[in-house]
């Protein structure tokens, strides 16, 4: 069975006065896969993610999610389908982990709707899936950096979405917490079809993640989308993009690739 | 000098522009001469009188404008250089307000103390006040290395407190009210050459001192460590230069009153024109200051030539100052510390029990205010017949104070949640002042406005102010400290407009003055019941919107990602907050700062969720306001200190204390 694309972007442009950030970008993303957006600073990765999240509007072209243009999605319907985490998560001002995660149910119950048993169950499941059960009563501010990121991921899971959008979720973390968070993201995408219970056993949750570290991206993602100067340089399975010529073109300096001695994965490095 | 280096490097056209502006100022002066009303009477006497007016009033006035402008420009240039702070000037550092407070004190109390104090010249009094204010401001900013934004925030807070104190003093000695207010707003009116000559001497001496200090001034542009490594006694040189600047500014205040923002604008414009070196700045800033003040005064005189009472020139420069500050702020290299919104240390296990406790506390305070009061033969507890007699006097004001406090507390909570800034509040963000401007607009345009119209006007004014500040915040990325500065600039602009209206000195000005100081003592039963009803009607819906408040405090991106229509919910809450502020300020005036304190105390007590915080803040603020009202009518018995001013005297130091604690330990 050929599933329809989850995301379909055609000729998407985004410009601010005096500068074009994305130029004529076309992409198709399938459900159930982890996509990594890579590229140098200013290549438009974060902008592309914000466009997908409807945080900003494109200045041209069309973006469709599940075949429906973004502008035609209602706010809360869209938030039930797509969850977004900004690069800098805000201070949570004394909120507990469980309270934060419960905010993820807002798209479902709305301003005045009742917080049902189903809502509560979804919250608990999101907490369990991110291994936060022991910390659920703690305030978010008191957690470590990695735990805090996991709490935000749990909030996104509580939205019960079909796609996660993560903007550099590891930028402020040390190497141990980086892999903790990214392994979680990868695991969630793998198990999502069965574990959410809500879905019909179809393809699981898609993830689009902006990552700076090319090797972390290789480890985490099924496919990589290499952006440079607002254009897609190449889009394909992660392993296939790890070539010296592509990395050199992407970052504008000579790069090499060797094989990870244990994991048998390609590793990029600067020559 | 990283801050200044960030200013846009402009093309070097301006000398021509400045000459043009000077020409324009001269032309306005000439126009003012031509437009003034002819003196009636026989031609010979009239001509003689006109000569007198020209030589003894108009020409000295122009000279004073030029000299005061130059002195302020020089003071501003020195302060900005020495503090490495492009928004330092005599008004943002609280020097002018401190000097004004000292002069008000001496005007009222010197006669009581006899010749001893009376012999001290005005200028010395002003200097002492200015120095005290600037010392306080610098002490507050010391811990954070005199970092520009902290210094400016402390300065404006000190300004606010000093102004509130001055106003309280003036109000409690009604006979001086109007003349002091006009003087305080910086009227340049002259009756001879005395003022001009005084200022000339000060300017010459100050300029000479600045020239002597030119070398230290150049070195101080580096950071302290480099300056010290060049062998300079950093603190000594800095204090000396600050003293010269304060003396110049205090002299101007003693002579003509508070003239805001010239000291800020002149060096800023000079920098825009490409002036960099200290020596060039010492010439350009005074020159530009002189031109700017003369120009403003020219505009004031020409617009007043129609016959209306002149707006004080200081109020007009205040009008220019707010927008100027808003424009300068984005250029400031501010290190935004995300830590400003530090976590509330603890949380209340059972918020409902906490709320119940607060209700009991409010009831206790209300009972105290109703029952206990001083009389001419000592304190008395009112019961039985006495209580029945006093009830019509005490009950309405207690109810009105409670309602106003509750509204301010709720409104402050909404604003803190909207902006994600724990220091936001109706007073700090300039929303109260906006309400005042709206009220003033109604008073000026409608002959006999009803209470509803006046409240509507202040609600619209408050809403416009709040929307402006939200737009400003969005444009500068919601940085908490910049937002506060923008709000204070907005408040300064609003208060400048208000003092311009106050200077009219007629019935409308008295209405406005009553509004500014708060008027719980004039509230009747029906009004107080209406206030209570409005408080309940406006606060109750907020409790249902707790989810909005929780989500919005996480900021726009997250709120949008959760499907909350961000713009619409922000607008709804902003409108609610503005309405609450408008109604509350109608009873307690714009200065109380209760809308900052209440929500803050609620957070400190551990009310973390939106709805609980709104309710807790409302209860706390209501209790505080009732207490302030009761204290205001008892501490100076038989005089009454207006409730709004009394609350500001409590709230101001609290804000200063918060700033002093700094983000390191949590706000």
Rounded-to-integer distance, Cα B256 and Cα B191, Å: 12
Of all residues in chain B, what percent carry a pLDDT higher than 70? Answer: 82
For residues B368 and B430, state if they share a domain.
yes
User: What domain range is A215 assigned to?
Assistant: 7-270
Rounded-to-integer distance, Cα B484 and Cα B469, Å: 9
pLDDT tens column, B293-331: 888 888 888 776 554 455 677 777 777 777 777 777 666
Tally of structural domains, chain A? 1
CB spacing of B563 vs A75 below 8 angstroms: yes
pLDDT in the model for residue B619: 94
Interface test with B, best of A49, A91, A92, A154 (most B CBs within 10 A): A91
pLDDT tens column, B510-564: 777 777 777 777 788 888 898 999 999 999 999 888 888 888 888 788 888 998 8
At residue B232, the 3 state secondary structure works out as coil
Q: Within the 319-348 window of chain B, which residues sit less than 8 Å (CB to CB) from chain A? A: 338, 341, 343-344, 347
Residue A181, domain member (yes or no): yes
For residues B533 and B407, state if they share a domain.
yes
Residue A40, domain member (yes or no): yes
Residue A235, domain member (yes or no): yes
Q: How many CB atoms lie within 10 A of CB A72?
A: 10
Write out chain B residues lying below 8 Å of A107, CB-based.
Answer: 562-563
**Among B449, B430, B427, residue whose Cα is nearest residue B440:** B449
Phi/psi for B90 (5° steps) reads -55, -30
CB B82 within 8 A of CB B238: yes
Residue A240, domain member (yes or no): yes
Mean pLDDT of A258-265: 84
Mark out chain A residues that contact chain B at CB-CB < 8 A. 53-55, 75-80, 83-86, 89-96, 99, 103-104, 106-107, 111-112, 139, 141-142, 159
For residues B519 and B590, state if they share a domain.
yes
CA distance, residue A79 to nearest chain B CA (Å): 5
Which residues are A20's β-sheet partners?
A15
Q: What is the mean pLDDT of chain B?
A: 78
Residue B333, domain member (yes or no): no
Residue B343, domain member (yes or no): no
Quickly state the pLDDT bin for B171 (edges 50, 70, 90). Answer: low
CB spacing of B550 vs A159 below 8 angstroms: no
B418 has a pLDDT exceeding 70: yes
Can you give the CATH number for the domain in which B484 is found? 1.10.3470.10
pLDDT in the model for residue B223: 64
Q: Which of B544, B554, B557 sits opposite A92 (nearest CB)?
A: B554
For residues B457 and B535, state if they share a domain.
yes
Q: Among B110-114, B582-586, B636-640, where is mean pLDDT lowest?
A: B110-114
Write out chain A residues lying below 8 Å of B608, CB-based.
Answer: 93-95
Can you give the CATH number for the domain in which A243 is found? 3.40.50.300
Rounded-to-integer distance, Cα A6 and Cα A154, Å: 22
In angstroms, the first-to-last Cα distance of chain B is 29
Can you tell me the ipTM of this complex? 0.85
Q: Which residue of A has its CA nearest to B346?
A: A94
For residues B315 and B352, state if they share a domain.
no
Q: Which of A78, A85, A90 sits opposite B563 (nearest CB)?
A: A78
B458 HSE (CA, 13 A, CB side):
32
CB spacing of B563 vs A104 below 8 angstroms: no
pLDDT tens column, A106-129: 999 888 888 889 999 999 999 998
CB spacing of A80 vs B563 below 8 angstroms: yes
Write out chain A residues lying below 8 Å of B603, CB-based.
Answer: 93-94
Per DSSP, the residues of B328-356 read: HGGGS-----GGGGPPPS---S-HHHHHH
Report if pTM > 0.95.
Answer: no
pLDDT tens column, B1-12: 334 434 444 444
B113 has a pLDDT exceeding 60: no
CA distance, residue A110 to nearest chain B CA (Å): 8
Q: When comparing pLDDT for B360 and B575, which is higher?
A: B360
Residue length, chain B? 667
Residue A2, domain member (yes or no): no
Tally of structural domains, chain B? 2
CA distance, residue A88 to nearest chain B CA (Å): 10
For residues B322 and B451, state if they share a domain.
no
Q: Which of A90, A112, A159 sits opposite B555 (nearest CB)?
A: A90
Q: Which residue of B has its CA nearest to A91?
A: B554
Residue A257, domain member (yes or no): yes
Mean pLDDT of A71-93: 87
Residue B198, domain member (yes or no): yes
Q: Which residue of A has its CA nearest to B553?
A: A92
CB spacing of B557 vs A86 below 8 angstroms: yes
**Among B94, B333, B124, B610, residue whose Cα is nearest residue A99:** B610
B614 has a pLDDT exceeding 90: yes
For residues B306 and B357, state if they share a domain.
no
B224-to-B86, B230, B279, B335 alpha-carbon distances in Å: 17, 10, 20, 18
Look at residues B277, B294, B328 and tell me which one is the last residue of a structural domain: B328
A210 has a pLDDT exceeding 90: yes
Task: Find all residues with CB under 8 Å of B510, minimum gap 6, and list them.
Answer: none
User: What domain range is B305 assigned to?
Assistant: 2-40+50-328
CB spacing of A76 vs B563 below 8 angstroms: yes
Quickly state the pLDDT bin for B172 (edges 50, 70, 90). Answer: low
CB spacing of B562 vs A139 below 8 angstroms: no
Q: Report the relative pairing of strands A163-167 and A82-85 from DSSP bridges.
A: parallel
Write out chain A residues lying below 8 Å of B544, CB-based.
Answer: 111-112
pLDDT in the model for residue B413: 93
For residues B408 and B315, state if they share a domain.
no
For residues B390 and B282, state if they share a domain.
no
Q: Which residue of B has its CA nearest to A87?
A: B557
CB spacing of B608 vs A94 below 8 angstroms: yes
B433 has a pLDDT exceeding 90: no
- Interface A-B, measured as beta-carbon pairs within 8 A, has a size of 77
For residues B215 and B171, state if they share a domain.
yes
A162 has a pLDDT exceeding 80: yes
pLDDT in the model for residue A123: 92
Q: Which of B344, B551, B555 sits opposite A106 (nearest CB)?
A: B551
For residues B323 and B435, state if they share a domain.
no
B199-to-B60, B65, B248, B574 alpha-carbon distances in Å: 11, 10, 9, 47
pLDDT tens column, B464-495: 888 888 887 777 655 666 677 777 778 777 87
Which residues are A15's β-sheet partners?
A20
A95-to-A101, B429, B620 alpha-carbon distances in Å: 10, 26, 21
pLDDT tens column, B8-58: 444 444 567 778 878 888 888 888 777 766 667 777 887 887 787 778 878
Write out chain B residues lying below 8 Å of A123, CB-based.
Answer: none
Residue B72, domain member (yes or no): yes
B568 CB near a chain A CB, below 8 Å?
no
For residues B57 and B114, state if they share a domain.
yes
CB spacing of A93 vs B341 below 8 angstroms: yes
């Amino acid at each position: 069975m050929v599933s329809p694309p989850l995301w379909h972007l055609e000729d998407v442009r985004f410009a601010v006065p005096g500068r074009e950030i994305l130029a004529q970008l076309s992409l198709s993303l399938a459900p159930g896969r982890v996509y990594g957006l890579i590229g140098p600073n200013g290549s438009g990765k974060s902008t592309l993610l914000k466009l997908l999240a409807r945080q900003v509007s494109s200045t041209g072209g069309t973006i469709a999610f599940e075949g429906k243009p973004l502008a035609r999605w209602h706010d809360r319907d869209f938030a039930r389908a797509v969850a977004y985490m900004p690069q800098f998560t805000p201070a949570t001002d004394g909120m507990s982990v469980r309270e934060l995660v419960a905010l993820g149910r807002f798209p479902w119950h709305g301003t005045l709707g009742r917080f049902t048993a189903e809502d509560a169950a979804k919250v608990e499941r999101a907490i369990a899936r991110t291994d936060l059960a022991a910390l659920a009563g703690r305030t978010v501010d008191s957690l470590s950096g990695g735990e805090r990121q996991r709490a935000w991921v749990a909030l996104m899971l509580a939205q019960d979405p079909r796609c996660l959008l993560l903007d550099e979720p590891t930028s402020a973390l040390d190497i141990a917490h980086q892999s903790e968070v990214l392994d979680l993201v990868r695991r969630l995408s793998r198990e999502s079809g069965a574990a959410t219970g809500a879905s019909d056993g179809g393809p699981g949750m898609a993830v689009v993640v902006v990552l700076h570290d090319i090797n972390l991206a290789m480890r985490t993602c099924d496919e990589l989308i290499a952006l440079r100067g607002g254009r897609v340089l190449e889009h394909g399975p992660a392993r296939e993009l790890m070539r010296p010529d592509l990395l050199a073109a992407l970052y504008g300096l000579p790069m090499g690739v060797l094989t990870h001695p244990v994991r048998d994965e390609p590793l990029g490095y600067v020559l | 000098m990283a801050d200044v280096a960030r200013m846009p490097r402009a093309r070097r056209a301006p000398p021509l522009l400045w000459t043009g502006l000077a020409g324009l100022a001269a032309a306005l002066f000439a126009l003012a001469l031509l437009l003034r009303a002819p003196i009636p009477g026989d031609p010979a006497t009239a001509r003689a009188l006109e000569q007198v007016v020209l030589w003894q009033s108009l020409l000295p006035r122009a000279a004073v404008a030029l000299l005061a402008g130059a002195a302020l420009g020089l003071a501003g240039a020195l302060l900005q250089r020495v503090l490495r702070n492009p928004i330092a000037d005599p008004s943002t550092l609280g020097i002018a307000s401190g000097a004004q407070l000292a002069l008000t004190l001496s005007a009222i109390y010197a006669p009581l103390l006899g010749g001893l104090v009376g012999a001290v010249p005005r200028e010395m009094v002003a200097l002492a006040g200015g120095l005290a204010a600037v010392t306080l401001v610098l002490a507050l900013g010391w811990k954070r290395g005199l970092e520009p934004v902290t210094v400016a925030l402390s300065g404006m807070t000190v300004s606010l407190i000093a102004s509130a104190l001055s106003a309280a003093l003036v109000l409690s000695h009604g006979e001086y009210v109007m003349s002091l207010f006009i003087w305080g707003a910086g009227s340049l009116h002259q009756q001879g050459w005395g003022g001009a000559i005084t200022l000339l001497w000060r300017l010459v001496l100050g300029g000479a001192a600045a020239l002597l200090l030119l070398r230290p001034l150049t070195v101080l542009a580096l950071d302290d460590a480099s300056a010290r490594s060049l062998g300079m006694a950093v603190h000594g040189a800095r204090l000396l230069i600050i003293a010269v600047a304060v003396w110049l500014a205090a002299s101007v205040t003693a002579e003509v009153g508070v003239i805001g923002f010239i000291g800020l604008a002149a060096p800023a414009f000079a920098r825009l024109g490409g002036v960099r070196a200290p020596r060039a700045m010492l010439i350009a800033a005074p020159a530009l200051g002189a031109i700017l003040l003369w120009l403003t005064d020219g505009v004031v005189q020409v617009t007043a030539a129609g016959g209306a009472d002149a707006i004080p020139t200081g109020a007009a420069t205040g009008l220019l100052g707010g927008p100027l500050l808003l424009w300068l702020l984005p250029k400031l290299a501010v290190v935004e510390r995300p830590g400003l919104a530090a976590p509330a240390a603890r949380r209340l296990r059972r918020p409902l029990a906490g709320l119940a406790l607060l209700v009991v506390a409010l009831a206790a305070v209300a009972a105290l205010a109703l029952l206990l009061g001083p009389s001419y033969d000592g304190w008395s507890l009112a019961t039985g017949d006495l209580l029945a007699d006093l009830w019509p006097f005490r009950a309405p004001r207690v109810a009105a104070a409670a309602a106003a406090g509750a509204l301010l507390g709720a409104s402050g909570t909404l604003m803190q949640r909207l902006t994600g800034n724990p220091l936001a509040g109706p007073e700090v963000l300039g929303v109260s002042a906006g309400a005042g401007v709206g009220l003033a607009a109604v008073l000026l345009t409608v002959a006999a406005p009803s209470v509803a119209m006046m409240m509507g006007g202040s609600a619209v004014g408050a809403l416009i102010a709040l929307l402006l500040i939200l737009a400003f915040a969005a444009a500068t990325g919601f940085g908490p400290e910049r937002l506060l500065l923008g709000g204070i600039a907005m408040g300064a602009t609003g208060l400048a407009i208000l003092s311009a209206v106050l200077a009219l000195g007629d019935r409308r000005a008295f209405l406005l003055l009553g509004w500014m100081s708060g008027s719980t003592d004039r509230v009747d039963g029906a009004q107080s019941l209406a206030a209570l009803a409005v408080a309940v009607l406006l606060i109750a819906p907020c409790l249902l919107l707790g989810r909005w408040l929780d989500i919005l405090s996480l900021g726009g991106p997250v709120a949008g990602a959760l499907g909350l229509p961000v713009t619409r919910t922000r607008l709804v809450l902003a409108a609610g907050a503005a309405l609450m502020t408008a109604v509350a300020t109608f009873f307690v005036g714009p200065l109380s700062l209760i809308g900052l304190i209440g929500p803050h105390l609620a957070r400190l007590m551990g009310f973390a969720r939106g709805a609980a915080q709104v309710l807790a803040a409302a209860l706390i603020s209501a209790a505080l306001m009732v207490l302030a009202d009761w204290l205001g009518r008892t501490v100076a018995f038989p005089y009454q200190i207006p409730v709004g001013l009394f609350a500001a005297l409590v709230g101001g130091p609290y804000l200063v204390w918060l700033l002093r604690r700094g983000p390191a330990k949590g706000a």
